[in-house]
Chain A
């Protein structure tokens, strides 16, 4: 009984972590899928969203949901502004240049955040209703994990509905599948991409906010969690939202279970798994058409 209770609690932890990873990776996978830009500063947007939310809750006294919306919107505006300026340069360089420029941007974000907030670790101050554990018989689960899963499922659901049922979603899917053909039939791919880029930044900001109780905010956040979301995108297949979702679930749960059951190996399990998966299918495990 005890064993299954632990396993269940771990699964919930794993899924909550996975949802955060998924929200962070959405913007990245679309950027890669449509514009073929490796945006290594993407995790920086999650960090900025997290810090914005932290400010709003702890200094301005906003409620959690309102702070979430405002910080996501703030990150979105910043993303749009940078897309209009710095990223114009990024688009024109080669693969290596993109990597270097976006790493440079991540460095600037790290230094700026440090300038404003210092290099202490910050976590979101939660209302007491979210810090308690909920008890289901023998199983005790943190209320905040449930909150994360619910909120991010709602966000993911809205995202799915937009992509599946709206005109914008259809255009975006067309652009991901075949950018040249989409342009030929009159879709303004660059402009649509600008909007999507900003949206992706907003989602990352929301994820940074939601995840901050267990992915604590500190200046090197932008590089710290970049590796897991890059792994999610690579395993999920570039440009595939469904792939990212499945990959995030797989990696989030494997990582959480691995750290608990084989603590001696630490994060080793997950990197080994990713290497094996990528060698098996270099285009991403969940990519359409396979390898």
Chain B
């Protein structure tokens, strides 16, 4: 039974605005601070930012639109291959390369969306998985374009704005990644606060009711899916430009699963979860994988089970609860 108070809280949670607050400054303070503290771990910082962008993209689809997908690596991979091929064949200019990657991802979302989003539940999950696996096989088969198992490599990326060339220590890559992350984050923020963002959150809560209110449910979801796909592709493109290598692993089920784990650990539907989850996951997996990848998998498995059971709102949810208990912050709980 839901009481009136509970019901109004649910509604408030579902449609609360996500205004800019002092919290939004934290990631950028951290980015600036880490630049001086990270030393040789600077490239890892860039990897974290790529993962955050990817997780933000997934949060749009999953956290705000309620689209359960097991195949978001499809878009990451599309973007990575697009950026790699763009650098090889068209131009080595980085920013237009990212735009191209985003466009390819968005078009991919517009094509796959109408097919996938007609279905619900397990069929939807299966189709997202099948589409991603399909792309993986395609990339594996068309070796003349994608390089097959060897991947794409040997391309150069021109300096950003023609000034900042990519250095071996990864300083330019770090700031470049931070800038892209900032653009993506504020885009997401604007999107979830827009009427469009409210409409997709409504669809997440109750599709039937939204349809009765006259909202074109499927086309709204397709639009969201395409935007999410475009941003995931930007993450992939960024990865391709920074590491100067695109492999088949950018399309795997493992990658789709990892980004989902990051987002779930961090918390869905708040955009902040992507920052917390991706940072924790990438840093810990880097350390643990160096020691023993299988123990890491064991830990991820256990944490995943416990997190779904005891912290369905992820780290963001836990922090909000603590904040509410301490009696400060917005105290949503």
Contact = CB atoms under 8 A, between A and B. Distances in A.
B122 A101 contact: no
Interface stretch (A54-62, A71-79, A109-117, A183-191): A109-117
Nearest to B66: A96
A97 interface: yes
B253 interface: yes
Interface in B115-138: 115, 118-119, 121-123, 125-127, 129-131, 133-134, 137-138
Contacts of B131: 275
B304 A101 contact: yes
Interface stretch (A3-11, A130-138, A144-152, A265-273): A265-273
A155 to B, nearest CB: 26
B301 A107 contact: yes
Nearest to A110: B297
Contacts of B137: 265-268, 271
A99 B70 contact: yes
Interface residues of B, number: 41
A93 B311 CA distance: 12
Contact of B141 (A32, A93, A268): A268
Interface string B39-58: 00000000000000000000
Counting contact residues on chain A (CB < 8 A from B), the size range is 35 or more
- Main secondary structure, interface of A, reads helix
- Main secondary structure, interface of B, reads helix
Given A104-B300, A234-B126, A278-B126, A272 B68 contact: no
B62 to A, nearest CB: 8
A238 interface: yes
B122 A238 contact: yes
Contacts of A89: 305, 308-309
Contacts of B140: 266
B138 A227 contact: no
Contacts of B260: 100
Given A89-B309, A107-B297, A107-B301, A271 B68 contact: no
A264 B301 contact: no
Contacts of A101: 304-305, 308-309
Given A32-B122, A268-B138, 10 more contacts: A93-B308, A104-B301, A104-B304, A107-B298, A107-B304, A111-B298, A114-B294, A227-B129, A265-B137, A279-B115
20 contacts: A32-B122, A97-B308, A97-B312, A100-B260, A100-B261, A103-B257, A103-B301, A108-B297, A108-B301, A110-B301, A223-B254, A234-B122, A266-B140, A268-B141, A271-B133, A278-B126, A278-B127, A279-B115, A279-B127, A283-B123
Interface of A: 32, 38, 86, 89, 93, 95-97, 99-101, 103-112, 114-115, 119, 219, 223, 227, 230-231, 234, 238, 264-268, 271-272, 274-275, 278-279, 282-283
Interface of B: 62, 68, 70, 115, 118-119, 121-123, 125-127, 129-131, 133-134, 137-138, 140-141, 253-254, 257, 260-261, 264, 294-295, 297-298, 300-305, 307-309, 312
